[in-house]
Each structure stands twice: as structure tokens, then as C-alpha cells.
Amino acid sequence: MAEMTLRVITPDKILIDETVTSVRLPGIDGFMGVLPRHAHMIAALDFGPLDYKDSKGVAHAVFVGGGFAEVSDNTVRVVAPVGETAGTIDVARAEEAEKRARERLDSGISAGIADVDTLRAQLALRRAMMRIRTKRRSL
């Protein structure tokens, strides 16, 4: 089976550096599939699960918090400001963050406030929901 390299890089560390058979990226316009020998590409990424199959065919999920992906020379390089493997995601913490974000949004909407705090709450809500989704995909 054809293979390629996947590297997921965050400011802290190289999160993933593996040989894989397929990758599914959370692009800003929707999910994108990448297979070995894919055409060269650069794409902006959204918050969400990055799914991949390793060389043994085992599926994995990683949360990425935006960034970009470059595909070239049979390598997928993802540079993201935030990244977590599904195994390290604390669902209870993510659910608490989701609850706080919903409360902030509810209080802002009832007060008729539409400002930077509302935008931050919306982003926090999306991030928490995508972290939970990533964790559940790996179960």
C-alpha cells in the first residue's frame, strides 16, 4: 500500500511524525482528504479533528486549532498553534469550557451585547466542541 509522511508541528513540539496511508484535514472550507502522491497544496485549517490512518491501517484523531497544511514530496506538514492527540484530550475539561462559553454567550445575547467578548465566547465554544468531537472519534 502506498504511504506518505505526516508531520503535525505546534509551537511546543512535533506532535506527530509518522508514516501514514491517508489524512483528512479540517480545512476552512470543509474537510480535505489527502492520499499518497497528492498534488502539491497549501491550505488554511480550521479548528477540528485531523484524522489519519497509520501504516498498519489503524485510525487516529488529533485536534488541531487552525494553522495551515502543506502537501509536497509525499509529505503532509501541518503547522498549528494548538494540537492535541485524542488520548490527551480531557473531555471533562472540554465540556466545562463548552458550558462556560455557552453561559457567556447566553448572558451576552440577553443583554444585547455583540462585541469582542461575544466573538471570543463563540471561538471558545467551537474549540471546546471540536476537542470533544475529536476525542469521541477516537473511541
Decide: helix, strand or coil at residue 49.
Answer: strand
pLDDT in tens, 2-46: 999 999 999 999 999 999 999 999 999 999 999 999 999 999 999
What are the boundaries of each domain within the chain?
Answer: 4-86, 90-137
Domain 90-137: give its CATH code.
1.20.5
The pLDDT value recorded for residue 76 is 99
Alpha carbon distance 26, 66 (integer Å): 8
Task: Check if 4-86 and 90-137 are the same fold.
Answer: no
Are 86 and 102 spatial neighbours (Cβ–Cβ below 8 Å)? no
Inter-CA distances, 74 with 35, 38, 71, Å: 9, 7, 7
pTM: 0.81
Domain 4-86: give its CATH code.
2.60.15.10
Are 18 and 5 spatial neighbours (Cβ–Cβ below 8 Å)? yes
Picking from 93, 98, 100, the residue whose alpha carbon sits closest to that of residue 125 is 98
The pLDDT value recorded for residue 117 is 74
Q: Is the dihedral of CA 139, 5, 128, 12 positive or negative?
A: positive
Alpha carbon distance 40, 36 (integer Å): 11
pLDDT in tens, 43-86: 999 999 999 999 999 999 999 999 999 999 999 999 999 999 98
